[in-house]
């Protein structure tokens, strides 16, 4: 089978000799089927089912220990559990403000659901929901609104039915008006 060539011998004998201790080398990246070692961090966290997930793929998550100052823009749904100061702009996506979240920002999204605290103006093309333990201090602009019993809201509400239509001039106006308000 090997012909005239012999297989090369391993550099070290993998079996320990009498009186030697066996050393096991573990790679830094555990495989999915590797058994858990006590004291070793798990690579996968259990899925948090506190908030409903979207049917069109995953949702990005800003964890409860994270603090962001600045602008968040993107093209995927976002769940905020930490704190955010600045601007959150998710034009065609859903923003969920988790129960432990503290958001001090203007928000532009397709849909906004608030379980935590928001201070800032919310503009949602489709709808805004403030859940029973949610709190919003700021002006709301949306086509549909839902405020549950027990929720706190202070501000004004503008029902904007043009948000549902694909009229580019009204979208452009709304974007420019919100951007001007955020920068002044």
**What is the C-alpha to C-alpha distance for residues 145 and 127, in angstroms, rounded to an integer?**
6
Dump pLDDT digits (tens) for 29-51: 444 444 454 554 444 444 455 55
Going 79 to 137 to 117 to 70, the CA torsion angle's sign is positive
Q: What proportion of the chain, given as a percentage, has pLDDT over 70?
A: 57
The pTM of this model reads 0.61
Q: What is the mean pLDDT of the chain?
A: 76
Selected residue with higher pLDDT from 3 and 166: 3
**What is the C-alpha to C-alpha distance for residues 97 and 46, in angstroms, rounded to an integer?**
20
What SS3 state is found at 183? Answer: helix
Beta bridge partners of 67: 83
Residue 104: its H or E element: strand 102-114
**What is the C-alpha to C-alpha distance for residues 95 and 89, in angstroms, rounded to an integer?**
9
Looking at residue 117, its pLDDT comes to 98
Nearest to 60 by CA among 46, 45, 74: 74
Annotate 167-179 with DSSP letters as a single string.
-HHHHHHHHHHHH
Selected residue with higher pLDDT from 18 and 144: 144
Residue ranges of domains in the chain: 60-173
- Helices in 30-156 by DSSP H: which ranges? none
Looking at residue 58, its pLDDT comes to 80
Average pLDDT of span 123-142? 98
């Amino acid at each position: 089978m090997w012909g005239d060539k012999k297989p090369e011998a391993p550099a070290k004998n993998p079996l320990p000799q009498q009186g030697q201790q066996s050393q096991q080398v573990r790679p830094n990246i555990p495989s999915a089927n590797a058994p858990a070692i006590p004291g070793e961090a798990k690579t996968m966290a259990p899925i948090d089912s506190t908030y409903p997930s979207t049917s069109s793929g995953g949702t990005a998550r800003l964890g409860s220990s994270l603090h962001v100052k600045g602008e968040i823009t993107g093209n995927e749904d976002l769940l905020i559990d930490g704190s955010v100061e600045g601007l959150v702009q998710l034009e065609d996506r859903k923003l969920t403000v988790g129960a432990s979240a503290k958001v001090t920002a203007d928000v532009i999204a397709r849909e906004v659901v608030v379980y935590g605290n928001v201070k800032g103006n919310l503009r949602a093309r489709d709808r805004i929901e403030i859940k029973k333990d949610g709190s919003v201090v700021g002006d709301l602009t949306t086509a549909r609104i839902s405020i549950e019993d027990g929720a706190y809201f202070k501000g004004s509400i503008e029902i904007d039915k043009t948000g549902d239509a694909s009229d580019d001039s009204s979208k452009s106006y709304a974007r420019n008006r919100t951007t001007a308000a955020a920068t002044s």
